Amino acid sequence: MSGKGEKQKRESRLARFWRETVGELRKVSWPSRQQATRMTIIVLIVMSVMSIFLFIVDNIAGVLLKLAIGS
């Protein structure tokens, strides 16, 4: 018989979690479409610049390591 009570307890926990989640999402201040687009573009630009920078640093480090090893 304890299995039935445990099942109801689990369902009530899930229902409470869902209600609290929906309640919290209603409190969120969502950005406008224009703000989201602008922030996405900024993130893509920063990612591109950083990937180019890391590519250059990696190549320089590889060349310096080859010179240090002597191969």
For residue range 3-17, list pLDDT tens digits in order.
666 666 777 888 899
Q: What is the pTM of this model?
A: 0.60
If asked whether residues 15 and 36 sit together in one domain, one would say no
If asked whether residues 64 and 37 sit together in one domain, one would say yes
If asked whether residues 48 and 69 sit together in one domain, one would say yes
If asked whether residues 26 and 37 sit together in one domain, one would say no
pLDDT tens for each residue of 23-38? 999 999 999 999 999 9
Under 8 Å CB-to-CB from 39, ≥6 apart: which residues?
31
Cα–Cα–Cα angle for 68, 69, 71, nearest 5°? Answer: 115
Q: Contact, 39 vs 31, CB < 8 A?
A: yes
Distances (CA, A) of 15 to 9, 19, 53, 64, 68: 10, 6, 48, 59, 63
In whole angstroms, give the CA distance from residue 12 to residue 19.
10
Number of domains in the chain: 2
Check whether 2 has a pLDDT greater than 60.
no
Percent of the chain topping pLDDT 90: 75
Give the pLDDT confidence score for residue 13 in this predicted structure.
86
Domain coverage including residue 15: 1-30
If asked whether residues 62 and 48 sit together in one domain, one would say yes
